[in-house]
Amino acid sequence: MNEETKERVAVEDPRVVLEVEGIGKEFNGVWVLQDIALQLAEGEIHTLVGENGAGKSTFIKLLSGVHKPSQGKIRVDGRDLTFSSVRESEIAGIRTVHQEINLVPFFTVCQNIFIGAEESTRVAGIGFVKDREMKKKAERAIGLLGVKLPVTTPAHELDASMERIVQIAKVLVHSPKVLILDEPTTPLSEEERKTLLQIIKGLKKTGMAIIFITHNIEEVMEVSDRVTVFRDGHKIGTVERKDASPAGIVAMMLGQELQRLQAGGLLFLRGR
């Protein structure tokens, strides 16, 4: 293979980290998600969009081991995996910032970041938690997110945007292979949103594969490599961001609802 061919292959065939085939979920006989296929490559930001209730969070809960899929396959680095727990998904290198905030109010920022993942060492057979090292790592992760926040602050003193920042720091300390962010920008101020988008782009450059969920079309257009649209528990399609327009994405999200809205608008005008 000469140099030219090698480069072309690398561009056309990015390394797929995560592959999902025909995945779905039913709760008590109701299918809330069906037959979803998706690929995620190294160094890719793959955005999921869809109206409320479209199934986005359920989808990522299948990837993060919160729920067990009712159908389909998950493949990480080419290996078929079945996640029976969140831990198993984490071991595969997948870390998720869920839409719901789940910090322990009376734990500090540092304790929340390392909850269930305390680092310890053994000296003469006795285990010691490495407090100082954890504090340093927590400070680094918080610093990376562009905010000033003492890691000794108890979580109940944080406002909504700081809670989100801590939740993100909590996954970043584990340097995941696949990072999933479920509507991370929702409670953030304009300034914090900008910082977070820059950070996500920076993580992409390190080769991290990122699934990003947002309601904000501007954010979709700013950060995505590819965009997958969900509607009513189905995947409507995946488009390259460079080929996509905001109006096109909204049309995919709304489907017939958009036609109804447009038809309604025309009727309204005629009526006048």
Ligand X SMILES: Nc1ncnc2c1ncn2[C@@H]1O[C@H](COP(=O)(O)OP(=O)(O)O)[C@@H](O)[C@H]1O
Q: Which residues bind ligand X (CB under 6 A)?
A: 27, 32, 50, 52-58
Q: Shortest distance, CB of residue 57 to ligand X, whole angstroms?
A: 3
What is d(CA 165, CA 69) in angstroms, rounded to the nearest whole number? 29
By CB under 5 A, residue 57 contacts Mg ion: yes
Is 26 or 88 the residue whose CB approaches ligand X more closely? 26
Is 53 or 105 the residue whose CB approaches ligand X more closely? 53
Is 34 or 161 the residue whose CB approaches ligand X more closely? 34
Q: Shortest distance, CB of residue 165 to Mg ion, whole angstroms?
A: 19
55 binds, among Mg ion, ligand X, none (CB under 5 to 8 A by kind): ligand X
- One character per residue 17-56, x = contact with Mg ion (rule: CB under 5 A): ---------------------------------------x
Is 154 or 255 the residue whose CB approaches ligand X more closely? 255
Is 22 or 207 the residue whose CB approaches ligand X more closely? 22
Contact window for Mg ion (CB under 5 A) among 75-83, 92-100, 140-148, 149-157: 92-100
Tell me which residues in 149-208 interact with Mg ion (CB under 5 A): none
Q: Shortest distance, CB of residue 25 to ligand X, whole angstroms?
A: 8
Contact positions toward Mg ion, by CB under 5 A? 56-57, 99
